[in-house]
């Protein structure tokens, strides 16, 4: 076993305590996964930490949670371990420190710098176009050539994908290190279903526990709005890309066209969802939180919220002289979002999915009678 | 509402206690329209007494359900009760409770309590017992939430220190709260304040000085204050005061509230010696339920109330993990040193045991196997394997007291009976404080919760009716 961080040591202690109690085994996947083990290497603990959806039920259901002297606080400890994993597996390694500093200011600074650059670039290029009213097909590209936009954002996006993939690969290898299991389609599908409905954010059925022991489903609803909002926006971009390359149809599209409908619905989800999650976070029992890394969550939610909000504003005001300015700001946020994706809370989605796949595989093996 | 103003009001039903029985009573009374105040001696976090540490409930049922694997008839339940109590039960009350247990799962689910799908696993209780999803504290949280939604008032850190009775009629309770005392009046009383296992002085009346070395597995609040006051003021006593449910738990556990994770059941995999390095009982006598129920008492009878379960590397991962790691050493002599045992005597005891094992046995801890000793006193009649593979391990164990059996006599309305043969007018009891009516000795998993739920619900309904007549 490698040298453990303080958080890993505490997680290891807790898993020993929890394994001798097991009252929580019906609440989520973490505890059955724990029961399949007697000892816990760092990779195991990192896996369990990313399998935890932080529903909080085990904290309020536990007879040994603080102030009891056994001090069993699974949600907080796994949150600390989980947040550490994001930095541990970051690619390239020297950028791991960004997770620690990835507060709201870093993300906003990146977004506004890019927005400022685009604004200057477009304004200097042709002030008349920038501050005039642009309508009809290709209006956006009168401000910025299509090739430049694709080049800039494509590069940022591809970099983000590469960095995310490398991080995920490192996590996967660590998780599988002690006991590799074959990955099959049913496991991938099972994990997709579990992630898609946030099966383990339901406190075992009644809803998650956030501010106190009274269950509520708020976080799940807001997370759904956020996740599916993001998916719709991603779909809107994908459809628009296909339109451009296959049909030679260029934005802005009329309001009833598919990319706009998808983007609008997604944008609304991405405004309400992150705002709700932020409010839920503010109401959360501080005992369950990793207080040292709240900035990372806030930055991610703020970037999603502002990206969506500027996108919706752009939609509303695209036929006015404000369009150029709003386009610069919106693209700045999109760019900033891409750039910070591999070094912020975005990775939790990938790691949690990977952990769910691992759990589906372990579960399958267990049911097969090992 | 602030607790102090709640204490100043006149209530229909006053419930003393905050565990499963108390909450079932409070909910049942409130559902009958009574105004209800619950007085919980503990703080909000520690509310619920020993219910916090429970996990399941035993109820009769006619067929398998989502949470139970098969039928468990009233007759079978009664037979199980007779077996564990060796006949020390009130048959009428026991049969009444078992009959009422049949719709308890439905009722308690309606109060918000949730159960987990039937367990295969380690406990083999999937047919008879339903397991609370998330355990006893989750169950309590659900009951408190329901009670509060219905308008039951709860006052924490409120210990009843005085009772004013007139014969079999409750008038008021003196309550210590927030640095002062208040007099609470109510038309009816439900006493659901647990047993007296956390009152070491009281335990010493029956056990003598050894009680100082007992560990209390649950709440430190079960000091028997209510029970003492009721018995002193003429309520009829039931149950054997020397009886308590005692199991062998890790000696390193805290004095109170160590709960489930300090339990040990590796007795079967090795030998158990006292602090004179001598064996004192057949470690292979029987399976878990009996083993579990007797070893606390056996250890209580040893010098200084301490013993050591000793086993070797073969068995380390054969049983449920527990909170503290075993003490280990590469040789028996070094292990003896760590346990403060005479090394030569300890080695001789192990050697004597190893030498007495009849060769050729086939070890299987799931059946009464043929691994046994011959010519050894006491013998190990099953599961005897030599302790010979380093490293060697030991768990120190002490008696862990779960609950006591002394209580107040009740009838099928959960109404207290007076020592003079009359019935109390407006006083009812539920839970551990009256468990001795049906459970005179012994224990079977989940029966404590059945007693609490069934008699709690009865007590609440009866108390609301009594309050309405008053």
Residue A188 vs residues A30, A194, A225, A231: alpha-carbon distances, Å:
18, 10, 23, 18
Where do we find the tokens 């369950």? A288
The pLDDT of residue B123 = 54
Q: Are B62 and B46 in contact (CB under 8 A)?
A: no
C-alpha dihedral sign at A325, A328, A329, A330: positive
Confidence of residue B119 (pLDDT cuts 50, 70, 90): low
Please state, rounded to an integer, the average pLDDT across all residues of chain B.
94
| A23-42 pLDDT, tens digit each | 999 999 999 999 999 899 99
CA distance A35 to chain B (A): 10
CB contact under 8 A, A20 and B323: yes
CB contact under 8 A, A26 and B141: no
| B458/B24 Cα distance (integer angstroms) | 9
Confidence of residue B64 (pLDDT cuts 50, 70, 90): confident
Q: Are A199 and A217 in contact (CB under 8 A)?
A: no
| A23/B135 Cα distance (integer angstroms) | 5
CB contact under 8 A, B135 and A20: no
CA distance B112 to chain A (A): 10
Q: Which chain A residues touch B18 with a CB distance below 8 Å? A: none
The answer, as to whether pTM is greater than 0.90, is: yes
Q: How many CB atoms lie within 10 A of CB B283?
A: 25
Query: Is A63 in CB contact (< 8 Å) with chain B?
Result: yes
| A149/A161 Cα distance (integer angstroms) | 18
Q: Which chain A residues touch B55 with a CB distance below 8 Å? A: 23
Q: Which chain A residues touch B145 with a CB distance below 8 Å? A: 213-214
* Range with the poorest average pLDDT among A188-197, A221-230, B118-127, B210-219: B118-127
Confidence of residue A343 (pLDDT cuts 50, 70, 90): confident
| A203/B91 Cα distance (integer angstroms) | 41
Angle at the Cα of A20 (from A18 to A25), degrees rounded to 5?
55
CB contact under 8 A, A63 and B321: no
CB contact under 8 A, A68 and B55: no
Please state, rounded to an integer, the average pLDDT across all residues of chain A.
91
Mutate to test the interface with A, among B249, B261, B326 (most CBs of A within 10 A): B261
Q: Which chain B residues touch A23 with a CB distance below 8 Å? A: 55, 132, 134-136, 138, 260
How many CB pairs below 8 A link A and B?
72
Residues 278-317 of chain B with CB under 8 A from chain A are: 317
pLDDT higher than 70, residue A370 = no
pLDDT higher than 80, residue A105 = no
The pLDDT of residue B4 = 62
pLDDT higher than 90, residue A104 = no
| A129-143 pLDDT, tens digit each | 888 888 777 788 888
CB contact under 8 A, A58 and B134: yes
* Range with the poorest average pLDDT among A61-65, B313-317, B370-374: B313-317
Judge residue B178's burial from the number of C-beta atoms within 10 Å of its C-beta, 0-12 exposed, 13-18 middle, 19 or more buried.
middle
The pLDDT of residue B124 = 65
Query: Is B53 in CB contact (< 8 Å) with chain A?
Result: yes
Tokens at residue A217, please?
Answer: 């489903």
* Range with the poorest average pLDDT among A127-131, B271-275, B422-426: A127-131
When CB atoms are compared, the residue of A25, A38, A213 closest to B141 is A213
CB contact under 8 A, A213 and B145: yes
pLDDT higher than 90, residue A338 = no
CB contact under 8 A, A63 and B52: yes
| A240-254 pLDDT, tens digit each | 989 988 998 888 899
Q: What percent of chain A has pLDDT over 90?
A: 65
Which of B184, B181, B206, B185 minimizes the C-alpha distance to B195? B206
**Chain-centroid distance, C-alpha A78:** 17
| B373/B359 Cα distance (integer angstroms) | 9
| B2/B17 Cα distance (integer angstroms) | 19
Mutate to test the interface with B, among A28, A30, A36, A63 (most CBs of B within 10 A): A63
Crossing angle between the packed helical segments A218-242 and A258-283, to the nearest 10 degrees: 150
Q: Which chain A residues touch B261 with a CB distance below 8 Å? A: 17, 20-21, 64, 70
In DSSP terms, which residues pair with B400 in a beta bridge? Answer: B215, B247
| B462/B454 Cα distance (integer angstroms) | 12
Q: How many CB atoms lie within 10 A of CB A34?
A: 23
DSSP string, A221-271: HHHHHHHHHHHHHHHHHHHHHHIIIII---SSPPTTSHHHHHHHHHHHHHH
Q: Which chain B residues touch A29 with a CB distance below 8 Å? A: none
Where do we find the tokens 């030991």? B394
Which of A336, A359, A340, A351 minimizes the C-alpha distance to A117? A336
pLDDT higher than 60, residue B3 = no
Complex prediction ipTM: 0.93
pLDDT higher than 80, residue A80 = yes
In DSSP terms, which residues pair with B404 in a beta bridge? Answer: B244
Query: Is A213 in CB contact (< 8 Å) with chain B?
Result: yes
Tokens at residue A189, please?
Answer: 């599908």
| B198/A314 Cα distance (integer angstroms) | 69
The pLDDT of residue B1 = 43
pLDDT higher than 90, residue A15 = yes
Query: Is A57 in CB contact (< 8 Å) with chain B?
Result: yes
* Closest Cα in chain A to B134: A24
CA distance B26 to chain A (A): 19
- Phi first, then psi: give them for residue B10, nearest 5 degrees: -100, 130
In DSSP terms, which residues pair with B172 in a beta bridge? Answer: B164, B185
pLDDT higher than 80, residue A318 = yes
- Residue environment code for B401-410, b if the CB has 16+ CB neighbours within 10 A, otherwise e: bbbbbbbbbb
pLDDT higher than 70, residue A57 = yes
The pLDDT of residue B404 = 93
When CB atoms are compared, the residue of A24, A38, A205 closest to B135 is A24
The pLDDT of residue B320 = 84
Residue positions counted in chain A: 370
Query: Is B117 in CB contact (< 8 Å) with chain A?
Result: yes
Q: What percent of chain A has pLDDT over 70?
A: 98
Query: Is A173 in CB contact (< 8 Å) with chain B?
Result: no
Q: Are B441 and B11 in contact (CB under 8 A)?
A: no
Residues ≥6 apart with Cβ < 8 Å to B73:
B60, B62
Whether the upstream peptide bond of residue A55 has omega within 30° of 0, thus cis, is no
Residues ≥6 apart with Cβ < 8 Å to A59:
A65, A73, A74, A75, A76, A209, A285, A287, A288
Q: What single-letter DSSP state applies at residue B196? A: S
CA distance A29 to chain B (A): 13
Mean predicted confidence (pLDDT) in B244-268:
94
When CB atoms are compared, the residue of B136, B259, B321 closest to A19 is B321
The pLDDT of residue A1 = 39
When CB atoms are compared, the residue of A19, A63, A69 closest to B136 is A63
Q: Which chain A residues touch B260 with a CB distance below 8 Å? A: 20-21, 23
Classify B251 as helix, strand or coil: coil
| B5-40 pLDDT, tens digit each | 788 899 999 999 999 999 999 999 999 999 999 999
Q: Which chain B residues touch A57 with a CB distance below 8 Å? A: 134, 138
Where do we find the tokens 């909002």? A229
* Closest Cα in chain B to A60: B138
| B459/A338 Cα distance (integer angstroms) | 64
Residue A25 vs residues A31, A167, B119, B259: alpha-carbon distances, Å:
5, 30, 10, 17
Mean predicted confidence (pLDDT) in B280-295:
88
When CB atoms are compared, the residue of A20, A60, A67 closest to B320 is A20
- B171's enclosing H/E stretch is strand B169-177
pLDDT higher than 70, residue B120 = no
When CB atoms are compared, the residue of A63, A64, A204 closest to B133 is A204
Mean predicted confidence (pLDDT) in B439-453:
93
């Amino acid at each position: 076993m490698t040298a453990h961080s303080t958080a890993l040591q505490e997680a290891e202690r807790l898993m020993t305590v929890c394994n001798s109690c097991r009252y929580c085994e019906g609440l989520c996947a973490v505890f059955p996964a724990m029961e399949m083990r007697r000892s816990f290497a760092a990779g195991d603990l990192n896996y369990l930490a990313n399998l935890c959806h932080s529903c909080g039920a085990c904290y309020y259901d536990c007879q040994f949670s603080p102030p009891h002297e056994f001090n069993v606080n699974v949600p907080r400890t796994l949150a600390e371990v989980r947040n550490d994993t994001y930095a541990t597996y970051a690619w390239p390694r020297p950028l791991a420190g960004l997770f620690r500093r990835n507060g709201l200011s870093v993300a906003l600074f990146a977004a506004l710098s890019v927005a400022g650059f685009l604004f200057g670039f477009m304004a200097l290029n042709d002030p008349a176009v920038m501050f005039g009213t642009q309508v009809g097909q290709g209006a956006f590209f009168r401000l910025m050539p299509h090739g430049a936009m694709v080049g800039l954002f494509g590069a940022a996006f591809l970099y983000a994908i590469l960095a995310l993939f490398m991080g995920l690969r490192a996590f996967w290898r660590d998780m599988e290190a002690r006991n590799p299991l074959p990955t099959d389609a049913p496991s991938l599908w099972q994990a997709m279903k579990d992630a898609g409905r946030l099966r383990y954010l339901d406190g075992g059925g009644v809803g998650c526990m956030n501010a106190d022991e009274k269950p509520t489903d708020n976080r799940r609803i807001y997370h759904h709005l956020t996740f599916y909002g993001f998916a719709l926006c991603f779909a809107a971009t994908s459809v628009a890309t296909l339109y451009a390359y296959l049909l030679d149809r260029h934005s802005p599209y009329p309001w009833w066209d598919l990319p706009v409908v998808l983007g609008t619905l997604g944008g609304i989800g991405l405004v309400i969802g992150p705002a709700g999650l932020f409010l839920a976070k503010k109401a959360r029992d501080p005992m369950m939180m990793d207080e040292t890394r709240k900035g990372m969550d806030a930055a991610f939610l703020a970037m999603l919220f502002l990206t969506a909000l500027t996108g919706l504003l752009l939609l509303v005001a695209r036929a006015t002289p404000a369009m150029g300015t709003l386009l610069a700001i919106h693209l700045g946020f999109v760019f900033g979002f891409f750039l910070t994706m591999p070094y912020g809370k975005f990775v939790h989605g990938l790691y949690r999915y990977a952990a769910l796949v691992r759990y589906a595989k372990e579960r399958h093996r267990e049911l097969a009678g090992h | 509402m602030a607790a102090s103003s709640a204490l100043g009001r006149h209530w229909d039903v006053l419930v003393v206690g905050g565990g499963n029985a108390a909450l079932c009573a409070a909910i049942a009374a409130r559902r009958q329209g009574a105004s209800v105040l619950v007085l919980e001696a503990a703080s909000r976090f520690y509310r619920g007494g020993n219910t916090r540490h429970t996990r399941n409930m035993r109820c009769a049922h006619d067929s398998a359900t989502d949470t139970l694997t098969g039928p468990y008839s009233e007759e079978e339940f009664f037979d199980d009760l007779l077996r564990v109590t060796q006949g020390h039960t009130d048959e009428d009350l026991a049969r009444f409770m078992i009959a009422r247990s049949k719709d308890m799962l439905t009722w308690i689910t309606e109060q918000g309590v949730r159960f987990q799908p039937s367990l295969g696993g380690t406990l083999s209780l999937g047919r008879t017992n339903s397991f609370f999803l998330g355990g006893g504290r989750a169950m309590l949280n659900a009951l408190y939430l329901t009670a509060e939604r219905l308008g039951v008032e709860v006052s924490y850190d409120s210990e009843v220190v005085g009772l004013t009775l007139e014969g079999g009629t409750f008038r008021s309770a003196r309550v210590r709260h927030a640095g002062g005392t208040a007099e609470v009046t109510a038309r009816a009383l439900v006493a659901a304040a647990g047993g007296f296992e956390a009152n070491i002085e009281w335990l010493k009346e029956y056990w003598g000085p050894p009680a100082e070395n007992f560990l209390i597995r649950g709440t430190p609040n079960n000091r028997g204050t209510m029970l003492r006051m009721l018995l002193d003021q003429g309520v009829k006593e039931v149950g054997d005061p020397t009886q308590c449910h005692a199991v062998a738990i890790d000696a390193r556990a805290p004095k109170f509230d160590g709960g489930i994770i300090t339990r040990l059941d590796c007795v079967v995999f090795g030998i158990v010696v006292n602090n004179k390095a001598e064996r004192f009982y057949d470690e292979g006598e029987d399976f878990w339920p009996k083993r579990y129920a007797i070893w606390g008492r056996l250890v209580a009878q040893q010098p200084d109330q301490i013993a050591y379960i000793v086993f070797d590397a073969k068995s380390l991962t054969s049983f449920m993990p527990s909170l503290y790691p075993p003490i280990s050493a590469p040789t028996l002599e070094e292990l003896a040193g760590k346990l403060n045992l005479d090394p030569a005597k300890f080695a001789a005891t192990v050697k004597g045991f190893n030498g007495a094992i009849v060769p050729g046995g086939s070890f299987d801890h799931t059946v009464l196997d043929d691994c046994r000793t011959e010519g050894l006193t006491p013998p190990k009649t099953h599961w005897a394997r030599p302790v010979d593979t380093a490293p060697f391990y030991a768990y120190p164990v002490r008696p862990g007291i779960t609950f006591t059996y002394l209580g107040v006599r009740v009838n099928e309305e959960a109404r207290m009976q007076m020592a003079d043969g009359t019935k109390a007018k407006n006083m009812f009891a539920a839970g551990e404080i009256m468990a001795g009516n049906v459970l005179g000795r012994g224990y079977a998993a989940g029966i404590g919760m059945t007693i609490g739920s069934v008699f709690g619900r009865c007590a609440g309904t009866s108390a609301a009716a009594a309050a309405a007549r008053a």
